[in-house]
């Protein structure tokens, strides 16, 4: 057997959405092994901690891995290209939802190829029905009591409802979080 193709799908996954799952499932068909790289991104002030996000991604990927997909979920806080080299990856996978994603991704891709030209960036277009899903919108809509059950896996929906209830309880007691 030849060289194993390892891909990396990086993101904050705060929280993981049906759009992310769609890209992950499709990416597993392009590589022998996929690393879902969960970024620490403390600067973004995530709703869930790094450990919580890793656990949620692992939880929702269990059916895929049970069907034989070789996926590992790994947290990272260093430069993505350095992380890719450490993992022996030859490919970065990124999802594109709309034209608005393109400019940012295009710049990132250019910078990453300057840092390491041997790692290819592959873009997968969001599937129909996933094009408008973003973690940010899911959090905003869910926080205001909107129905987000169609945008995230059931287990993630439960985690979100629990977290929103915790935040409401904190707000009710006047605690500063």
Query: What interhelical angle do 154-172 and 135-143 show, nearest 10?
Result: 50
Catalytic residue among 70, 97, 143, 163: 97
- Residue 135 falls in the annotated catalytic set: yes
Q: Is 132 annotated as a binding residue?
A: yes
80 known member of a binding site: yes
Residue 13 annotated as binding site? yes
Residue 135, marked binder: yes
Which residue shows structure tokens 């605690």?
175
130 known member of a binding site: yes
Is position 29 annotated in a ligand binding site? no
| Catalytic residue check, 149 | no
Catalytic status, residue 20: yes
If you write DSSP's letter for every residue of 48-117 in order, what string do you get? S-HHHHHHHHHHHHHHHHHTT--EEEEEE-S-HHHHHHHTT-SEEEEEE-SHHHHHHHHHHHHHHHHH-T
Q: Is 136 annotated as a binding residue?
A: yes
The residue from 20, 53, 139, 157 that is catalytic is 20
- Is the sign of the CA dihedral 130, 135, 141, 142 positive or negative? positive
From the annotation, which residues make up the binding site for substrate?
12, 44, 80, 94
From the annotation, which residues make up the binding site for ATP?
12-13, 20, 95-97, 105, 130-136
From the annotation, which residues make up the binding site?
12-13, 20, 44, 80, 94-97, 105, 130-136
Which residue numbers are catalytic?
Answer: 20, 44, 97, 135
């Amino acid at each position: 057997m030849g060289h194993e193709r390892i891909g990396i799908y990086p993101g904050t996954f705060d929280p993981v959405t049906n759009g992310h799952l769609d890209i992950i499932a499709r990416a597993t068909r392009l590589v022998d092994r996929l690393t879902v790289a969960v970024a620490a991104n403390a600067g973004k002030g995530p709703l869930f901690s790094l450990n919580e996000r890793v656990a949620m991604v692992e939880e929702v990927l269990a059916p895929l891995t049970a069907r034989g997909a070789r996926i590992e979920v790994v947290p990272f806080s260093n430069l993505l290209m350095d992380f890719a080299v450490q993992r022996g990856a030859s490919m970065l996978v990124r999802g594109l939802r709309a034209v608005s994603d393109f400019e940012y991704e295009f710049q990132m891709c250019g910078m990453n190829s300057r840092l390491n030209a041997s790692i290819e960036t592959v873009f997968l277009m969001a599937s129909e029905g996933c094009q408008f899903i973003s973690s940010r919108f899911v959090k905003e809509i869910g926080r205001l009591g909107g129905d987000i059950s169609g945008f995230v896996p059931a287990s993630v929906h439960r985690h979100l409802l629990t977290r929103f209830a915790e935040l409401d309880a904190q707000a009710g007691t006047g605690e500063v979080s």
